[in-house]
C-alpha cells in the first residue's frame, strides 16, 4: 500500500511539473512572438551564411570575433541594401497607377504582334472582361498597399529598430552558439540518438534547401531583372524587380518580364527584344541551374509535394509558412520512416 501511495505521489509530482513547464513554455512563446520576425530572419541568415562563418572561424580561431565579423558584414552588405531597395520600391509604388494608365492610353501593339493578340482580345471580349479597368484597379490596390507600408514603418519606427536589434543580436549568437544550442535541444529529446540525427539532418537539409534554393534564387532573379529593367528604360524598375522576386517564389517571374518587354517594344523594338531574352534567360537559368545547384540533394522531396507544402504553408501560416510548410512535411515523412523502421511496419 505504501509503495502504491509513493508511486502515485511521484506521478502527481511529475504531472504538476509538466503542467507548469508547458504553461511557462507557452507564455514564453507569447512573450517572444513580437520578435519572431527578427529571430526567424537571423536563423535564415545564419543558415545561408554558415559556410562563410566556418571559413572565417578556421582562419581566426576565435568564435566571438568570427561571429562579430559575420554579423557586421551581413548587416552592411545584405540587410541595409535590401532594406533600402524595399523603401525605394515602396516609394515607386505610389506612381504605378498613373504610369500604367498613361501607358495604356498611349499603347499601340506592334504590327508584327497584332495577329498574336487577336485571340486574346476576342477571348476577353467574349468573357466580358474589360482589361484596362481591371489592370488599373489591381495596380492601384497594389500600389496603395505597398505605399501604405512607408507611413506604417514610420509610425512604428521603434518596433522596426527593436526588431533590427533583435535580428542582429540573435544572428551573433546563432553564429557563435548555434551548434551548441541545437545539440542541447537534441540531448533533451527522449529518442534514439540515430533517430535524432536523422530528424536533424532532414529538417536542416530542408530548411537550408528552401532558404538557399528558393529565397536566394528569388532575390538573385529580382536583382538581375532590376538591372535589365534599368538598361531597357522600364519605369518603376525597382518595384517591378521586387514583383519578379515574389513571382519567382512560384516559378512565374516571366509574368512580369514578358509584359515589360512588350511595353518596351512599343517604342524601342531592339531594347524590347533584349529585355525579353534577358528575362527568359534569367528565369530559366535561375530556376533550372542556380536553384538546382544550391539545393542539390538537401531536399529529398518530390517537386509537386514541395510546391503543395509551400503553398499550403503560406495559406496556413502566412509568409513564414514558406519555410514552415516544407519543414512540417519533411518532419512528418521522417517520423513516418522512423515509425516503419522501429516498429517494423
Which stretches does DSSP call E strand in the chain?
A: none
Note the pLDDT of residue 155. Answer: 43
Choosing from 133, 157, 188, the residue where a domain stops is 188
What is the number of domains present in the chain?
Answer: 2
235 and 116 fall within a common domain: no
- Give tens-digit pLDDT for 216-228: 788 888 889 889 9
Q: Which helix (H) or strand (E) holds 299?
A: none
160 and 231 fall within a common domain: no
- Give tens-digit pLDDT for 32-52: 877 777 787 788 788 778 888
Q: Which of the four pLDDT bands, split at 50, 70 and 90, describes residue 240?
A: confident
HEC string of 104-120 equals HHHCCCCHHHHHHHHHH
Query: 198 near 330, Cβ under 8 Å?
Result: no
Note the pLDDT of residue 285. Answer: 81
Mean pLDDT of the chain: 75
141 and 206 fall within a common domain: no
Query: 85 near 242, Cβ under 8 Å?
Result: yes
- Give tens-digit pLDDT for 289-342: 776 666 655 555 666 676 677 778 777 777 667 777 777 887 788 888 877 877
pLDDT at 111 over 70: no
- The angle at the Cα of 39, spanning 248 to 197, to the nearest 5 degrees, equals 85
Of 164, 176, 217, which Cα lies nearest the Cα of 46? 176
179 and 252 fall within a common domain: no
Q: What percent of the chain has pLDDT over 70?
A: 69
Domain that holds residue 216: 192-340
345 within some domain: no
Place of cell 548555434: 178
Note the pLDDT of residue 47. Answer: 79
56 and 118 fall within a common domain: yes
Note the pLDDT of residue 92. Answer: 64
- In a 13 Å sphere around the CA of 229, the CA atoms on its Cβ side amount to 22
Of 313, 333, 315, which Cα lies nearest the Cα of 323? 313
63 and 97 fall within a common domain: yes
Q: How many residues does the chain have?
A: 345
Q: How far apart are CA 73 and CA 70, in angstroms?
A: 5
Show Cβ contacts of residue 96 under 8 Å, excluding neighbours closer than 6 positions: 139, 140, 142, 143, 236, 239
- Give tens-digit pLDDT for 50-73: 888 889 988 888 889 989 999 988
Q: How far apart are CA 79 and CA 117, in angstroms?
A: 43
Q: How far apart are CA 315 and CA 313, in angstroms?
A: 5
Tell me if the pTM is above 0.75: no
Note the pLDDT of residue 23. Answer: 92
Note the pLDDT of residue 24. Answer: 92
Grid coordinates representing 123 are 477571348
Note the pLDDT of residue 271. Answer: 87
Choosing from 127, 160, 188, the residue where a domain stops is 188
Q: Which of the four pLDDT bands, split at 50, 70 and 90, describes residue 147?
A: low
Query: 171 near 266, Cβ under 8 Å?
Result: no
168 and 278 fall within a common domain: no
Choosing from 141, 159, 188, the residue where a domain stops is 188
pLDDT at 232 over 50: yes
Query: 133 near 165, Cβ under 8 Å?
Result: no
Q: How far apart are CA 132 and CA 130, in angstroms?
A: 6
Q: How far apart are CA 326 and CA 210, in angstroms?
A: 8
168 and 300 fall within a common domain: no
302 and 318 fall within a common domain: yes
Show Cβ contacts of residue 199 under 8 Å, excluding neighbours closer than 6 positions: 191, 331, 334, 335, 338
Amino acid at each position: 500500500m505504501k509503495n502504491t501511495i509513493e508511486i502515485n505521489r511521484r506521478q502527481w509530482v511529475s504531472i504538476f511539473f509538466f503542467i507548469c513547464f508547458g504553461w511557462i513554455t507557452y507564455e514564453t512563446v507569447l512573450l517572444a512572438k513580437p520578435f519572431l520576425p527578427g529571430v526567424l530572419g537571423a536563423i535564415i541568415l545564419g543558415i545561408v551564411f554558415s559556410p562563410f562563418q566556418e571559413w572565417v572561424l578556421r582562419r581566426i580561431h576565435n568564435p566571438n570575433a568570427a561571429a562579430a565579423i559575420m554579423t557586421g558584414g551581413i548587416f552592411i552588405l545584405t540587410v541595409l541594401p535590401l532594406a533600402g531597395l524595399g523603401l525605394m520600391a515602396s516609394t515607386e509604388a505610389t506612381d504605378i497607377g498613373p504610369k500604367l494608365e498613361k501607358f495604356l492610353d498611349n499603347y499601340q501593339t506592334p504590327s508584327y504582334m497584332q495577329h498574336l493578340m487577336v485571340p486574346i482580345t476576342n477571348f476577353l471580349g467574349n468573357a466580358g472582361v474589360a482589361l484596362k479597368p481591371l489592370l488599373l484597379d489591381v495596380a492601384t490596390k497594389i500600389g496603395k498597399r505597398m505605399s501604405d507600408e512607408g507611413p506604417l514603418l514610420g509610425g512604428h519606427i521603434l518596433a522596426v529598430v527593436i526588431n533590427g536589434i533583435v535580428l542582429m543580436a540573435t544572428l551573433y549568437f546563432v553564429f557563435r552558439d548555434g551548434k551548441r544550442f541545437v545539440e542541447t535541444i537534441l540531448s533533451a529529446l527522449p529518442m534514439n540518438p540515430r533517430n535524432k540525427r536523422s530528424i536533424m539532418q532532414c529538417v536542416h537539409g530542408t530548411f537550408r534547401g528552401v532558404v538557399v534554393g528558393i529565397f536566394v534564387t528569388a532575390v538573385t532573379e529580382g536583382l538581375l531583372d532590376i538591372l535589365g529593367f534599368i538598361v531597357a528604360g522600364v519605369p518603376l524598375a525597382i518595384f517591378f524587380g521586387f514583383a519578379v522576386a515574389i513571382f519567382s517564389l512560384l516559378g512565374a517571374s516571366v509574368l512580369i518580364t514578358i509584359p515589360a518587354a512588350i511595353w518596351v517594344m512599343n517604342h524601342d523594338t531592339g531594347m524590347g527584344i533584349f529585355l525579353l531574352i534577358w528575362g527568359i534567360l534569367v528565369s530559366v537559368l535561375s530556376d533550372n541551374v542556380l536553384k538546382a545547384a544550391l539545393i542539390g540533394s538537401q531536399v529529398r522531396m518530390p517537386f509537386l509535394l514541395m510546391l503543395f507544402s509551400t503553398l499550403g504553408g503560406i495559406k496556413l501560416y502566412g509568409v513564414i509558412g514558406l519555410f514552415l510548410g516544407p519543414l512540417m512535411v519533411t518532419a512528418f515523412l521522417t517520423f513516418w520512416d522512423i515509425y516503419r523502421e522501429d516498429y517494423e511496419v
